[in-house]
Every structure is written in structure tokens, then in C-alpha cells.
Structure 1
Amino acid sequence: MSILNTLSQSLQISVFSAIAIGTTTLYPLAAEAATFNIGGLRFSEAAGDFRLTDGFVQNGTAVLFQEVFGPNVDLSIAIQGMRNLGIAGFRLESVVTNSTGTPWTFYDHELQEVFGVPSPEQDGLSFGQGLRSARPFTSDRFSRVDEVTDVRDFVNFSNGVVNPGETVSFRYVITDLVANNLFYIRQRPNFAPGGTGFVEVPPLPVEPPQPVEPPQPVEPPQPVEPSPPAEPPVPPQPVEPSPPVEPTEPSPPVKPTEPSPPPVSPPIEPDAGDNSTPTAVPEPATVLALLMSSILSRRYLRRAPSSNI
């Protein structure tokens, strides 16, 4: 907490840009512990069942990634380097994954200069007490933010839920006017403000697994009848050679046959009742000569002049 209210009110957001933008360095510590160098600030696992997984600087804000797996969810992170950087404060975005199996309905942040001891009013360490330009503090899962800055420094987020497997981010400012070289952030999921403390949140009901239908019985394959044994091959019967063909005697030559004489028609016998002598038939030339002679005689008679008797 600040002991000089006027000084804290005069702080400007520009002091947070003094965080150097550089590569993130992981320093292994004890078993399952790690340290991340984010812009010159060293973030280390200090207590609780969680782990730091990554970190970098973005737009002048230190971004730190965590995974909480429980069962001990009273978590502490050690932070060093503000004195060496010569800065009065910085912006922090804490990104936390719920791997506990229980939903979160509250998430509490508390500053401690001495591990296990709440930060008093006079140590100069606070969540930007009196720095109005750094407000409001926000979360992507919780809509309500409660602050206590007089007796102890804490910021509590509520009115939301983070189910197992989901991730939540918190954005706020840390200032230290005394510039302690080492301080702690205590984080407690499901820790309610006002003296209530940890609240019991029932885990999400687990849906019973869907019954698995037994596989359909597989009919055994039909037995395959063995093939009948193959008959032995039949050896070919030897082929007996044909007996030699005896030569046959040549046939005697065929004598040529003599031509048959032409058929002779028998003479026509005259009828017995016809006793007349056969008439001689003149030759055609004779007939033609007689015809021509007759024609010429007729022409001559026509042309000859008639005589008066």
C-alpha cells in the first residue's frame, strides 16, 4: 500500500512502458518449478499446485500464462526485478487455465511483501492504489471486481464461472513506491471476499457414458469342403505301328474299244396295196428353169403385134 497518497495519484501510466520488450527466458528451478523472464521481470512458481507455461510483453503489458491443476489451489508467484528496472509499477495480464475439475465462481489476488504475510498499509506495495487512470480492472469471465486497499491489498473477481478446461484472463496494475526487489502475488480460486473464504463449488455432473451396444455376433464361415483328390494322370497307350502295306500288282492295260458303226436305217418297203410306179420328183433347178421360161413366153406374147387374119 502507498504511504504517500499524493505521490501515488501523480503516477502516470507511462511508467509501465519502461518494461523492456525482449525474449522470454525460462529458468528451471526445483522439480516442476520454472521461472520466466518477461521484459526484465522474473516470475517464479513459489507455492501451490500449478505451473507457469509461458510469458511475453505485449503493448507494454507483461502477459503471464498459468495452468492450475490442484488439489492445492492456494497459489503464490514470486516477482523480482522492479528495483533493477527502476520502475514504479507495471501492467499485468494473468491468463489462467482451469485444469482442476471444479468450476470457479471467484478468483482472488493478494499482494505480499513477505511470503505468507498480507501487505500492510505502509509498505508501498499495492494494486495501483489511488491510480484512477489504471482502472477499471477487468476479466473476460467475471464481471464484478471488489478491491480492499486499507487493511490488505487484494482484488477479487466474481459474478462469472470458469468451467474445467476453460481459460480466464485478469488485467490489473501493480505498483511499488518503495521498489522492493522481491514480492509475491497470492492467487486463490473460489475464495470469496468479506471473510467468507473458500467456497465449495460442486463439480460439474459427469454424464454417464453412452452404453456401448455389443457387437453383432459374427457367423462362423461355412466350412469349405475339401476338393476331391485329383486322379492320377493316365499314361498314354503306346501306339502300335501299322503293318507295312504290301505292293499290289499293276492292273493290265485296258484295250481301246473299237468305234461302233453308225446305225443304218432299214429300207422303206412300199405298201403292198400300192402297185403304181413311184413318181419321179424333178430337181429344183429344173423346176426353176421351167418357171422362168413360162414367164418369158408370156411377156413375149404380150409385146408381139397382133396380125390381121
Structure 2
Amino acid sequence: MSLTLISAGPADDGRWYAGDYSFSDELGGFRILSIRGSGTTADPIEIEEELNSATPVTLVIRAARQTQLQSAFHLSIVTLNRSGLAWIGFDFELQEILGKPSDFYDGLSFGQIQPNAAFISSNRFDHFESQFERYDRLRFDEGHVDPLDRSKFGFFVTDVTPVPEFYLVEDPRIPST
């Protein structure tokens, strides 16, 4: 049975499955609402989620089977802003080790080997910046997301030295006071 067919809700282990990966909100601070897709350009893995605060949250990503480590997939994140605050930017950061910024040597990136700006998108922010070294981060700005609005982001994740588990830190940015 294809893992894509069982992505209507979380499995018994609390993980959501799509393509060759599982995704989890187990570290808290947000909630996954649905997941679908296979990870290709035509059918990216789309994660719908809601953030209840404007603090960073971490999505746990695992290979669905240890014997099936892939090296790339297209990802789309649709986020409902339930924080009560407007967001003026949004950052995504990849981490191979939780809490440690990804570096050049871990092979994990937002398509750093063959960068393609066409794979990076947002419906709410007009500008993005790829920050590759010292960490792998995408920073979106020049826009906003009001409370109870949705934002959609798209990007390509590559790992030239695939590992069975890694992390995507999501950080909504709010105006400073």
C-alpha cells in the first residue's frame, strides 16, 4: 500500500505520512491539520497546520522506512495564523541535529547544490532570502499575515547525505515594539 493513501490523518504513532516521509508536531507549539502529496514538483507534500503563538515551532521529519532514504522533495506549508498577532515575516530553518543550525557539511539544504528560485514561493510575502552558511534558512519578508489568515510557502528540500530524521524550524516574525 502506498503511504500517500494513508495520509488523511495521523497514524497510531501520531505521525502523518506523505510521500516517503512522516511528519510530526510532537515537539509542540502548533498542530498539523492535514498532509497530502508525494513530494514531486507536480505533487508537492502539502502540510496544513495552525500556529497558536508567534514563537518558533519545530516540525519533525523522518524517513517513513529506514531503508528508504530519499535525497530531495518538494514541500508546501499552509499555515493558519492563530497567534492573535500579525506576522511581518517568516523564517524556515533546517536542522539535522535538533537545536543546532545546519552547516555546509551535513548536506541538508533548501536546494543549495542546484539553487532554483522558481521552487521557492509564498502567497503573502513578495521577497525571500536564502541564507546558506552558518545555517540553512529561508527568510520571507515584504508582506504580512493577519490573525486568522493563511499563508502558503513552497520550497525544495535536499539532503545529499540522507539521514533518517531531521527538523524544520518555523519562525513567524512579528513587529518589534
Q: TM-score range by the shorter chain?
A: 0.7 to 0.9
Give the drift of 1:88: 1.1
Amino acid at match of 1:93: S
Larger Rg: 1
Q: CA RMSD in A?
A: 2.2
Give the TM-score taking structure 1 as reference length.
0.52
Which residue identity lines up with residue 108 of structure 1 in the other structure?
D
Q: Write out per-residue CA displacement over residues 183-232 of structure 1, whole angstroms, 9 at most, x where no aligned residue.
A: 00001100xxxxxxx6426xxxxxxxxxxxxxxxxxxxxxxxxxxxxxxx
Distance 1:134 1:142 in 2: 14
Counterpart in 2 of 1:45?
A: 25
Report what 1:221 is aligned to: none
Please report how far the alpha carbon of residue 49 of structure 1 lies from its aligned counterpart in structure 2 after TM superposition: 1.7
Aligned match of 2:110 = 127
- Look up the match of 1:54: 34
Determine which of 184, 200, 207 is the counterpart of 2:176.
200
| Runs of 5+ unmatched residues, structure 1 | 1-18, 191-197, 202-309
The structure in which a higher percent of residues are strand is 2
Give secondary structure in 1 for the equivalent of 2:113: coil
What's the counterpart of residue 157 of structure 1?
140
Cα separation, 2, equivalents of 1:136 and 1:43: 21
Is the CA contact (8 Å cut-off) linking 1:111 and 1:119 kept in structure 2? yes
Aligned to 1:67: 50
Q: Bigger relative contact order, structure 1 or 2, given CA contacts below 8 A and separation 6+?
A: 2
Letter in 1 for 2:153: F
Aligned residues: 171
Q: What is the rounded CA distance, in whole Å, between the counterparts of 1:91 and 1:49 in structure 2? A: 24
In the other structure, the counterpart of 1:141 is 124
Deviation digits for residues 100-138 of structure 1 (CA, Å, limit 9, x no counterpart): 110000100000011111011100111110323463411
Aligned partner of residue 22 in structure 1, secondary structure: helix
Are the structure 2 counterparts of residues 126 and 176 from structure 1 closer, same or farther at C-alpha, using a change threshold of 3 Å?
same
Q: Is residue 10 of structure 2 the alignment partner of residue 26 of structure 1?
A: yes
Which residue in 1 is equivalent to 2:59? 77
Question: Aligned in 2, Cα 1:99/1:162: closer, same or farther, shift over 3 Å?
Answer: same
TM-score by structure 2 length?
A: 0.87
Q: Say if 2:167 is the partner of 1:184.
A: yes
| % identical aligned pairs | 26
From 88, 106, 113, the counterpart of 2:96: 113
